Amino acid sequence: MGKDTRSARLFERASKVMPGGVNSPVRAFKAVGGTPRFVTRGKGAYIEDEDGRRYLDYVMSWGPLIHGHAPKGLLTALRKAATRGTSFGAPTRLEVEMAETVRSLLPSMELVRFTSSGTEAAMSVLRVARAATGRDAVVKFAGCYHGHADGFLVEAGSGATALGVPTSPGVPAALAAMTLTARYNDLASVEAVVAAQPGGVAAILVEPIAGNMGVVPPVPGFLDGLRDLCDRTGALLVFDEVISGFRASRGGAQHLLDVRPDLTCLGKIIGGGLPVGAYGGRQDLMRLVAPDGPVYQAGTLSGNPLAMTAGLWALGALSDKLYEKLERLGSRLAEGLADAAHRAGCDISINRVGSLLTVFFTDRPVLDYDDAKLADTAAYGRFFQSMLTQGIYLPPSQFEGWFLSGAHSTGDIDVTIKAARKAFRKSRP
């Protein structure tokens, strides 16, 4: 894209007033090159940029838009809600209805507390786990990302991987030392980490379907093994379902994979495209949260009426028919991409769970963070740029998931596969 485009000029202006010209690092296109597109509108499966270019979107706001951009029912609900007020700092019926809806879909969340982001939810759930167990150390997995709170920026995935900053400066060494790291899909590594901690660990925090080193599903027995380990050692099992919640299934990954965590973090789809997060779990644990208990957590905009309205609409519109469609489209896309890469002589590995997938530019299966890091990021960058030129908007990082929505069609998938045939050829050096 030339420097005389509106997006390029906006990026130049933005770079003078915001770090890197963006409000979230992956948006800057540093991992794929070129200039980020400044989006003006979205409808269905498509977005349009400041220069009037239209793109078939596989980012979908990084997952929340399971029904597509700007569905009519959502807009109607938000307009009605906005006329009544946008924020009160006081309880509303919407919060109650939303909490009841979440609990009905994820029974493990006996009590729910809403926040304004997934980062806030993960930070808060960790405080609950430490208070409940009286232990400080927690276990996370290399390549899993749980937001940007200090204790989680240890071998984090996603944008940190793409930018080559797996552990952020500014995190105190003493705090980082309380975060123990194991290998995803390697139960023996978790056993070893826990056994080496004489005082025990407060929690094992895991994405039940990893989405921040790229999509990496759990191998059979891995999550069951974590559940057993927690039961034996007194640690709490925490599922970060900010990505997988309501995308893997109406009951999240925990329903799909039949493993019940003690605590869960949610985000994305429960806000229907508006900023939101939530955490919850066993009643005895969540009763520790103020004002019921001593674990303090608060938020001025938590339970915001517009976010609750959007979330209620988004969850209410989930259906078996939608998930069947997403599975069908996801399968068609993955198979078509694999065939296109083979024809182009390009080595890739595709991981997919329903409507969520990642194309890794590597010839080996990707089961953990080390496998993901072997992917050829330069090849992905060339692939990304070719797809973008052809009107296909993909995640601007090798280490992210592609998201499908109910607004995507079979025709959209076929257009994407056709574009990929050319892009895979261009991805080769």
**306-321 pLDDT, tens per residue?**
999 999 999 999 999 9
Residue 338, domain CATH: 3.90.1150.10
In terms of domains, do 91 and 228 share one? Answer: yes
| Residue 103 host element (H or E) | helix 93-105
Let me know if 320 is a catalytic residue.
no
- Which of 265, 289, 316 is the C-terminal boundary of a domain? 316
Q: For position 161, what pLDDT does the model report?
A: 38
Q: For position 168, what pLDDT does the model report?
A: 65
The answer to the question of residue 91 being in a domain is: yes
In terms of domains, do 324 and 250 share one? Answer: no
Whole domain around residue 207: which residue ranges?
Answer: 72-316
The answer to the question of residue 242 being in a domain is: yes
In terms of domains, do 59 and 94 share one? Answer: no
In terms of domains, do 325 and 309 share one? Answer: no
Inter-CA distances, 27 with 20, 32, 48, 153, 207, Å: 9, 10, 16, 19, 22
Question: Is the sign of the CA dihedral 167, 171, 176, 177 positive or negative?
Answer: positive
Q: pLDDT by residue for the chain (429 residues), tens digit each?
A: 567 899 999 999 999 999 999 999 899 999 999 999 999 999 999 999 999 999 999 999 999 999 999 999 999 999 999 999 999 999 999 999 999 999 999 999 999 999 999 999 999 999 999 999 999 999 999 999 888 776 776 654 444 433 333 466 777 777 777 889 999 999 999 999 999 998 899 999 999 999 999 999 999 999 999 999 999 999 999 999 999 999 999 999 999 999 999 999 999 999 999 999 999 999 999 999 999 999 999 999 999 999 999 999 999 999 999 999 999 999 999 999 999 999 999 999 999 999 999 999 999 999 999 999 999 999 999 999 999 999 999 999 999 999 999 999 999 999 999 999 999 999 988
Q: Per the residue annotation, which of 55, 145, 184, 369 is the catalytic one?
A: 145
The answer to the question of residue 165 being in a domain is: yes
- Which of 296, 316, 336 is the C-terminal boundary of a domain? 316
Q: For position 160, what pLDDT does the model report?
A: 43
Q: Per the residue annotation, which of 49, 57, 240, 376 is the catalytic one?
A: 240
The answer to the question of residue 1 being in a domain is: no
Residue 282, domain CATH: 3.40.640.10
Q: What is the DSSP letter of 147?
A: -
Q: For position 145, what pLDDT does the model report?
A: 87
Distance of CA 101 to the CA centre of its chain: 21
The answer to the question of residue 45 being in a domain is: yes
In terms of domains, do 79 and 65 share one? Answer: no
In terms of domains, do 186 and 197 share one? Answer: yes
In terms of domains, do 55 and 183 share one? Answer: no
The answer to the question of residue 12 being in a domain is: yes
Q: With contact defined as beta carbons under 8 Å apart, do 170 and 149 qualify?
A: no
This model's pTM is above 0.85: yes
In terms of domains, do 60 and 91 share one? Answer: no
Distance of CA 352 to the CA centre of its chain: 14
Residues 428 and 341: their CA atoms lie apart, in Å, by 11
In terms of domains, do 333 and 312 share one? Answer: no
Q: Per the residue annotation, which of 268, 325, 368, 376 is the catalytic one?
A: 268
User: What 3-state DSSP class applies to 329?
Assistant: helix
Inter-CA distances, 138 with 164, 189, 227, 230, 312, Å: 24, 14, 15, 12, 33
Q: What's the domain count of the chain?
A: 2
- Which of 316, 346, 372 is the C-terminal boundary of a domain? 316
* 289 phi and psi angles, rounded to 5 deg: -80, 135
Q: Across-strand partners of 340?
A: none
In terms of domains, do 355 and 420 share one? Answer: yes
In terms of domains, do 11 and 89 share one? Answer: no
Could you check whether the bond before residue 395 is cis, i.e. omega within 30 degrees of 0?
no
Find the Cα–Cα–Cα–Cα dihedral 270, 387, 340, 185, rounded to 10°: -40
Distance of CA 83 to the CA centre of its chain: 31
Let me know if 418 is a catalytic residue.
no
The answer to the question of residue 218 being in a domain is: yes
Let me know if 412 is a catalytic residue.
no
In terms of domains, do 139 and 128 share one? Answer: yes
